[in-house]
């Protein structure tokens, strides 16, 4: 049972932004401080990537954990009410994300995807290092993430994450 009326729930949901989210702003400010200039929500590329670096032919998508179905994340849960709708919506979002990322990679762009929960001030230096390293690779890439888990006392905790890079297959490369 929802704690709010339909009207209140609608009002709350309408305030959720799709642009200039907190994780986007944190990463953008850090990259700008390092001297990197970018475009935001670039409409000329599939999926309107959140951050685009034309000079390095690199894009960054920053996905909200709930809306994009981040697996094994506390933020990304299917609501108990209207579960069929939400499961279908999140599944379609994930499929759309994957298609957009592959389309951008096929155009010869490097594609990086980060999750809302990954972008914290503690993780920022590592993320910046990885982004900057990708800028200076010569081949177009589609990057995905691999998490490393460690057992700690009575729980399992994610302790590290690495980017796995795949060379993009486009008509140019064939």
The per-residue pLDDT for 16 is 66
Q: Which two tokens stand for residue 108?
A: 């010869």
DSSP string covering 74-113, please?
Answer: SS----SSSHHHHHHHHHHHHHHHHHHHHHHHHTT-EEEE
Q: What is the pLDDT of residues 34-89, one digit of tens each?
A: 999 999 998 999 999 999 999 999 999 998 888 788 888 887 888 888 889 889 99
Which of 58-67, 131-140, 153-162 comes out lowest in average pLDDT? 153-162
Structural domains of the chain, with CATH:
17-167 (3.40.960.10)
pTM for the model: 0.72
Q: In residues, how long is the chain?
A: 174
Are the CB atoms for 78 and 87 separated by under 8 Å? yes
Secondary structure (H, E, C), 116-140: HHHCCCCCHHHHHHHHHHHHCCCCC
- Mean pLDDT of all residues in the chain? 77
**Phi, psi at 72, each rounded to 5°:** 60, 30
């Amino acid at each position: 049972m929802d704690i709010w009326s339909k009207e209140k729930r609608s009002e709350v949901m309408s305030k959720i932004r799709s642009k200039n989210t907190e994780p986007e702003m944190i990463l953008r400010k850090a990259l700008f401080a390092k001297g990197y200039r970018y475009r935001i929500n670039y409409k000329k590329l599939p999926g309107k990537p959140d951050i685009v670096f034309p000079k390095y032919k690199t894009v960054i998508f920053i996905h909200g954990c709930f809306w994009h179905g981040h697996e094994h994340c506390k933020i990304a849960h299917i609501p108990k009410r209207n579960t069929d709708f939400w499961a279908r919506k999140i599944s379609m979002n994930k499929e759309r994300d994957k298609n957009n990322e592959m389309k951008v990679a096929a155009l010869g762009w490097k594609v990086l995807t980060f999750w809302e929960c990954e972008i914290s001030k503690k993780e920022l230096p590592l993320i910046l290092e990885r982004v900057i390293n990708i800028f200076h690779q010569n081949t177009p890439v589609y990057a995905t993430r691999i998490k490393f888990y460690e057992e700690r006392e009575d729980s399992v905790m994610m302790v590290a994450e690495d980017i796995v890079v795949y060379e993009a297959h486009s008509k140019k490369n064939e």
